[in-house]
């Protein structure tokens, strides 16, 4: 009989502070480099992005969700039920929270309006939380030379209570920061460029009997845990503030020296807006961000998929690009943003959410 514990269960057991608090409040019954990948051979390494993926940030220790890579090449199944397509277009029914003309928006006003919109979303559920995202990261050759190159690849994940299916390395493309970089690469003999999956550009599909976790730093939650988080700003704020105070290493958890609580909340917003949280919980994290000093608004940001949104930043390099009409997260990036600019495909440190939602089918 094998009595060894799964490493994810061990991680889960190492979070007594939040688990105890969730139990006290009645919210629990029990995701660069902040996304943890576990290879088919059974080892794990950091990456972001939660579950999906994830994104690979220039700062270690940020929010992460578990994604698993490895297995045979496969193509994605197309039929996914109850998936919300994130296309950056205005809501056809409401026109969005910021449709009124003549209104000057600051970060607080934008975030409170987004909180209101998020609270009105459907509280649907299903057997699996599905996420499809496009990741943009720096690449390297087998000789560790970068040549100013970046890659883009699509990842899909179906996260259930005790089963996860992932497809990574879909639609791989490479780009260079400049024509001079491309010429240098060609002069070197055009050595193979690598993604997180290696030099292969074929999709990799895997299915595992394992639970997915979402969280920041020491706190990692399963689907029941994240679904039972508070749905009011006061109670969610009390929970996250207590967890922040109990973080054994705040710099490692956030990936910054002397991080602030507001920067911690931005990473939790990334988790909750892209994970299987309740509409009320998403609304609550927007309200909490609205009250934080140093949170800034950047208008007219276009993500690498050509969708226009409004970015919110913690002032330290993390940016949430939000659809102003639906309050849905379009992208997370560490690329320095300015108003009315586009995130280039070769920037790296960016994950763009294509679609997400509940489904009863394992793809």
Angle subtended by helix axes 279-290 and 107-119, to nearest 10? 170
Q: For the chain, which residues make up each domain, given as ranges?
A: 7-359
Q: In this model, does residue 90 exceed pLDDT 60?
A: no
Residues 101-125: tens digit of each pLDDT? 334 479 999 999 999 999 999 888 9
Residues 227-243: tens digit of each pLDDT? 999 999 999 999 999 99
Going by their DSSP bridges, the two strands 35-38 and 64-68 should be labelled as parallel
By mean pLDDT, which of 12-21, 107-116, 323-332 is the weakest?
12-21
High-pLDDT (> 70) share of the chain, %: 71
pLDDT higher for 26 or 277?
A: 277
pLDDT for residue 76: 30
Predicted confidence band of residue 27 (pLDDT cuts 50, 70, 90)? very low
By mean pLDDT, which of 57-61, 71-75, 228-232, 316-320 is the weakest?
71-75
Task: Please state, rounded to an integer, the average pLDDT across all residues of the chain.
Answer: 77
Q: In this model, does residue 44 exceed pLDDT 80?
A: no
Q: In the 8-state DSSP scheme, what is residue 169?
A: E
264-290 residues labelled b (16+ CB within 10 A) or e (exposed): bbbbbbbbbbbbbbbbbbbbbbbbbbb
SS3 content of the chain, % helix, strand, coil (to 5): 25, 30, 45
Contact 94, 121 (CB under 8 A): no
Q: In the 8-state DSSP scheme, what is residue 361?
A: S
High-pLDDT (> 90) share of the chain, %: 61
Q: How many helices (H) and strands (E) does the chain have?
A: 9, 17
Q: What's the maximum distance between 2 C-alpha atoms anywhere in the chain?
A: 69
Angle subtended by helix axes 233-246 and 279-290, to nearest 10? 70
């Amino acid at each position: 009989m094998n009595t060894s514990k799964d490493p994810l269960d061990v991680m889960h057991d190492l979070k007594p502070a939040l688990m105890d608090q969730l139990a006290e409040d009645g919210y629990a019954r029990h995701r660069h480099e902040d996304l943890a990948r576990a290879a088919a051979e059974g080892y794990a390494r950091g990456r972001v992005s939660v579950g999906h993926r994830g994104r690979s940030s220039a700062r270690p220790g940020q929010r992460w969700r578990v994604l698993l890579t490895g297995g045979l090449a496969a193509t994605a199944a197309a039929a996914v039920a109850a998936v919300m397509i994130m296309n950056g277009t205005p809501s056809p029914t409401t026109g969005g929270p910021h449709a009124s003309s003549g209104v000057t928006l600051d970060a607080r006003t934008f975030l409170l309006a987004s909180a209101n919109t998020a609270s009105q979303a459907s509280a649907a559920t299903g057997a699996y939380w599905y996420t499809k995202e496009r990741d943009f990261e720096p690449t390297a050759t087998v000789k560790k030379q970068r040549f100013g190159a970046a890659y883009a690849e699509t990842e899909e994940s179906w996260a259930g209570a005790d089963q996860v299916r992932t497809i990574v390395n879909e639609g791989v493309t490479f780009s260079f920061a400049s024509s001079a970089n491309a010429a240098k690469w060609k002069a070197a003999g055009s050595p193979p460029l690598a993604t997180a999956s290696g030099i292969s550009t074929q999709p990799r599909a895997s299915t595992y009997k394992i639970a997915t976790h979402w969280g920041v730093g020491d706190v990692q939650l399963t689907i029941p845990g994240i679904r039972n988080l508070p749905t009011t700003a006061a109670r969610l704020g009390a929970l996250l503030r207590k967890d922040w105070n109990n973080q054994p290493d705040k710099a490692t958890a956030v990936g910054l020296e002397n991080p602030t609580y507001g920067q911690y909340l931005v990473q939790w917003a990334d988790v909750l807006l892209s994970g299987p949280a309740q509409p009320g919980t998403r609304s609550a994290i927007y309200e909490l961000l609205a009250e934080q000093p140093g949170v800034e608004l950047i208008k007219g940001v276009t993500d690498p998929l050509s969708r226009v949104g409004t970015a919110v930043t913690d002032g330290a390099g993390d940016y949430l690009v939000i659809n102003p009409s639906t309050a849905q997260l379009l992208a997370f990036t560490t690329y320095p943003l300015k108003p009315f600019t586009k995130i280039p495909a070769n920037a790296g440190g960016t994950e763009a959410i294509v679609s997400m939602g509940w489904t009863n089918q394992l793809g």
